[in-house]
Structures are given as C-alpha cells and as structure tokens.
Amino acid sequence: MIENFIHQSIFFTINQSVNQPFQHYQENEKMIINDITLNKIRDNLWEIPQTGNMRVPGRIYISQNMIEKSLKDDEALKQVVNVAHLPGIEKYSLAMPDIHWGYGFPIGGVAATNLDEGVISPGGVGYDINCGVRLAVTSLEYEKVQSRIGNLISKLFENVPTGVGASGAIKKLSNKDLKQVLEKGSVWAVENGLGIPSDIEFTEESGTLRNANFSAVSQRALERGADQAGTLGSGNHFLEIDVVDDIYDAKTAEVFGLFSGQLVVLIHTGSRGLGYQVCDDYLKVLLNASAKYGFKLPDKQLACAPINSQEGQDYLAAMQAAANFAWNNRQVIMHLAKKSLLETFNMTESELGFRLVYDVCHNIAKIEKHKIADKMKEVCVHRKGATRAFPPGSELIPSKYKGVGQPVLIPGDMGRYSYIAVGTEKAMEETFGSSCHGAGRNLSRTKALKSAKGRDLVKELKDKGIIIQAKGYKTIAEEMPGAYKDVADVVDVMHNEGITRKIAMIRPVGVIKG
C-alpha cells in the first residue's frame, strides 16, 4: 500500500519567503543555512539530517566556500528536503555541487526510488527532457586551422538552425516519421544517412530508450517538435568549437581519442518543444494522480505517481520518447557540424578524422540496477541537472571504455572552459552513479544585460581568441561568461570526492548560440 506523502507543509511550503535572514555559524563542523542544518561528513560532503517526515537524509556534495557564496539566497536546500519526502526514495536525497534551485527537484538533484512503492516525478527530470551534451573529436590541430575558425563558425551558423523557435534543419517530420524518431532515437538519424553506426555505440543508452511509446505523447507535443529536429534552440544551448588545453590523465585521454591542441566539437541541447510539452502534459496528469493516490505535495512541481501505476508508466513511456527525440536531435546537429567542418576545411572524411567520443544526458529518469543494503536492486534514478558517471567495467558503457570508465562531459560558460571527466566506482557507491552537469547562473538575465551595457562582448571574446555568432546581441549578453559560476569549482569537488576523475579541460575558440 502506498504510504501517504505527507509533509510538514507549515515549515517547508512554497509560501515560505526566500528572504529569511542568512544564519551561518560553524559549531563542531555544522552549518545552518535558512534554518536547515548541514552536518559536515567530509570536506565536500554535507548531510541534512532526516527529520520530521523526511524518509531519508539529504546529502549535498559542495565545498564550504560554495555554500557561503551560493546557497544563502537560494531555495535549493529546501528542495533537497522536499525530495526526501518522496515515497520509495532510497538512501539519500542527493545534490551535486552545481546545486541551485529548480522546479520541484533542485538543479543538480539526484534521487532513486524503488519500483515497489516508489514514485516517478517530472520534477526530477525537468522540462527539457534529455537535455544533454555531446563531444566529438577531429584529427585537426587548432594551431594549423586557427585562421579559418571564423569561416567555420559562419558555416555552422548557416547550417545549424539556432534561436527561438528554430526550425527547418531537416524536413518537417510527419507523424509517421515522428513515431520512428520517438521510438528509435538517434538510430533513426543514422538510418537516414545523418550519422554512422558507431555513433550509436558512443551514445548513452545507445541513443534509444526502448520502452518509449509514441501513443503516450500528445498531439500537441508532436506539433511542437515536428519541425524542430536538428535545431539548437536558444538560451544556454550552444555548439562550440573547442581546443583541448589541458590533459590530467594521459592514458584515459588517449582512450577517449583526445590529444593536446586538438580541435573538438561540443554540443549542448535537448528535446526542444516536444520535451517541454511532454513535461507540461504529464505535470497535469501527475498532479491529478497525486491527489488520487493521497499524496500531499509541498510543491506542485513534485507531482508524482507510483512508478507501477498507469500514470507512472505513461509518463515513463512519454519521457523516454522525448529523450529519444533529444538524442536524435543531437545526432542530426553533430552531422550538420561535421558537414560544416568538411565544407570549411575542404578535406576528406578520413583527413578530418571526425569521431563521436560520447553523448550524455543530464535531465532524465531511468530504471537502473544499483546496490542498496548490499543487494542489487532496480530503482528509478532521477537526474535533474546531473550526469550519469559509470565506472570501469560497467556493462552499459562502450567496450572501448570499459577499462577506464564512462566519459562525463561537463560544460562551462562560453568564455572559460569545459571538462571531460570519467566515472568511478565511488560514484556507484555514493551517488547512484551520478555526477554534476555544469555550473549554473550567477547573474539573472536582467543583471547580465545591465553588466553588458556599453561593452562590446563580441570584441571581448574575440580578444580572448573566441569567435561567436548568435541570433542577437541580447543572447550574447545574457549568456556572457560572467553570468555563470566557475565550473572548475564544481568539477573539483567531484574530483576531490572521487566521484569523477578529471581527464581533460577544453576551452572554446568558437561558439554559435540561439
């Protein structure tokens, strides 16, 4: 029988003002932030004790410095506490060091629920289902092609639709085509000449979640996605040309096909309007389901249903379909990027040496096996702004990587750097095989626009060796490097805790944005 999901709503409701005075004291390795106690477990690991109707404690991977800088004015800790109330949650309500507040779960939130009495929640996935990152390498040395990066960026901007409501990368998909895309994911793109078979192997889940169901996706979602396949979108989505700047683990870098000074391509986008609509549709369904199953929600964005209920299964099937759409999207964009490189540098495929390293998702819920109380158990792992980080030997990563572990791609902002890391056994032990996903914003869009006033950001980036092309200057200003936190801090926490290991750092030399 499903227990009631009852929460001490008086203390933890969404009505609670975010303007509570920041209380910070350290006493025997403890901090109190906005009335929430954080007990220090290790230098970069803090625990919120299980109290009241929390079913498990909360655990946050974060440095003390980052707590002081970013959590005092943020509701994210309350959200970690809220998530700890979900029926069937196992071990901990987790958050990675890029924690900041989101809708339902915090961004950076990870929670696993058992399949017997556990729930599934769109709040633990996000609106942009399977937003994720893809890294491809070339055999080119940046120094030798530096003078043509401007041409490359122009060609990319021409070939890859970017921006608000972007459409038209490939023909508008009919419902019949969409059915194929939603059920096959990036396999559809490869079958239609928009990739090569090995691309599938180097994509998380081989680019297809197999229980996707086209019928679970609304006509409205299909309409929103029909002409958006192969489009970048807007906001913080991007396509970057980067150079491998620093290598921390030469052996693993070699396995991944990375070398110092190499030109690589980084793509960040998701399921576009189709995914947003699926989330929207099922928030409504699961709000009704929450009432039906007697769950009292502290936050409507945590609407949920038992995984094994009809509502839960329908959401899972629709979410998987949207995830497949996103993988197809990144596959098509990568194909367009490769085409742009070939056209710009006027070389053969063999000379270009273009190859997919890996594709990861960072907004997803998946059924996985994890060890809980010394037994392997199937659970539904929600990763909301968190990346899978599986260790060496995992059956679910490409054979080529079994000796070293799964690549974990962590993008930073367009003015600094991004990281490639690798999953570890410790991630499996502590975080359901999960790690961070990025940096998070520092400044609101309004403040970023204000900060950009009177500046020539395009020139500033050019002076740093970065060529940018975007739909409008407003996008560049809103997405300026200073608007984001430093991803190095986030990555270092994960590295120092042994959850992921840093392998290489890449820095941008060209960017296209919507």
Q: List residues with catalytic annotation.
A: 437
Report the alpha-carbon distance of residue 441 to residue 172 in Å, rounded: 34
Classify strands 434-435 and 387-388 as parallel, antiparallel or unpaired.
Answer: antiparallel
Six-digit token pair at 111?
A: 């929670």
Q: Where are the beta strands (DSSP E) in 345-482?
A: 355-361, 363-372, 375-384, 387-388, 407-410, 418-423, 434-435, 467-470
Task: Give φ, ψ of 189 to 5 degrees.
Answer: -60, -45
Nearest C-alpha neighbor of 281 from the set 220, 323, 225: 220
Report the alpha-carbon distance of residue 318 to residue 326 in Å, rounded: 13
Query: Judged by CB under 8 A, which stretch of 60-68, 281-289, 343-351, 426-434 contacts another protein?
Result: 281-289
We find the least distance from the C-beta atom of residue 443 to another protein, in angstroms, to be 7
Given the complex with another protein, which of 195 and 233 has the nearer CB atom? Answer: 233
Three-state secondary-structure class, residue 207: helix
Report the alpha-carbon distance of residue 416 to residue 197 in Å, rounded: 33
Given the complex with another protein, which of 282 and 432 has the nearer CB atom? Answer: 282
How far lies 254's CA from each of 203, 262, 374, 447, 504, in Å?
19, 12, 35, 42, 11
We find the least distance from the C-beta atom of residue 389 to another protein, in angstroms, to be 24
Report the alpha-carbon distance of residue 119 to residue 283 in Å, rounded: 13
Given the complex with another protein, which of 426 and 447 has the nearer CB atom? Answer: 447
We find the least distance from the C-beta atom of residue 99 to another protein, in angstroms, to be 13
In 10 A of CB 453, how many CB atoms? 7
What would the x/- binding string for another protein be over residues 320 to 349, using CB under 8 A? ------------------------------
We find the least distance from the C-beta atom of residue 184 to another protein, in angstroms, to be 24
Query: Judged by CB under 8 A, which stretch of 54-62, 173-181, 275-283, 486-494 contacts another protein?
Result: 275-283
Query: Judged by CB under 8 A, which stretch of 38-46, 311-319, 355-363, 443-451 contacts another protein?
Result: 443-451
Answer for which of 366, 441, 495, 507 binds another protein (CB under 8 A) is: 441
Q: Decide: is 7 part of the binding site for another protein (CB under 8 A).
A: no
Q: Decide: is 283 part of the binding site for another protein (CB under 8 A).
A: yes
Report the alpha-carbon distance of residue 301 to residue 82 in Å, rounded: 11
Given the complex with another protein, which of 230 and 257 has the nearer CB atom? Answer: 230
What would the x/- binding string for another protein be over residues 234 to 263, using CB under 8 A? xx----------------------------
Q: Decide: is 474 part of the binding site for another protein (CB under 8 A).
A: yes
Contact 267, 334 (CB under 8 A): yes
Given the complex with another protein, which of 273 and 508 has the nearer CB atom? Answer: 273
We find the least distance from the C-beta atom of residue 463 to another protein, in angstroms, to be 28
Query: Considering only residues 95-134, where is the footprint of another protein by CB under 8 A?
Result: 100, 103, 127-128
Compute how many residues bind another protein; rule: CB under 8 A. Answer: 38
Given the complex with another protein, which of 37 and 451 has the nearer CB atom? Answer: 451
We find the least distance from the C-beta atom of residue 129 to another protein, in angstroms, to be 11
In 10 A of CB 231, how many CB atoms? 27
Given the complex with another protein, which of 67 and 152 has the nearer CB atom? Answer: 67
Q: Decide: is 444 part of the binding site for another protein (CB under 8 A).
A: yes
Six-digit token pair at 272?
A: 């576009």
Query: Judged by CB under 8 A, which stretch of 30-38, 189-197, 333-341, 440-448 contacts another protein?
Result: 440-448
Contact 63, 488 (CB under 8 A): no
* DSSP track, 249-285: -HHHHHHHT--TTEEEEEEEE--HHHHHHHHHHHHHH
Rg over alpha carbons for the chain, rounded to the nearest Å, is: 22
We find the least distance from the C-beta atom of residue 235 to another protein, in angstroms, to be 6
Query: Considering only residues 215-234, where is the footprint of another protein by CB under 8 A?
Result: 220, 223-224, 233-234
Q: Which H or E run contains 58?
A: strand 58-61
Answer for which of 109, 118, 163, 481 binds another protein (CB under 8 A) is: 163
Q: Which amino acid is at 231?
A: T
Query: Considering only residues 382-411, where is the footprint of another protein by CB under 8 A?
Result: none
In 10 A of CB 117, how many CB atoms? 14
Length of the chain: 514
The residues of the shown chain that bind another protein, judged by CB under 8 A, are 14-15, 100, 103, 127-128, 163-165, 220, 223-224, 233-235, 273, 276-277, 279-280, 283-284, 287-288, 291, 299-301, 441-447, 471-472, 474
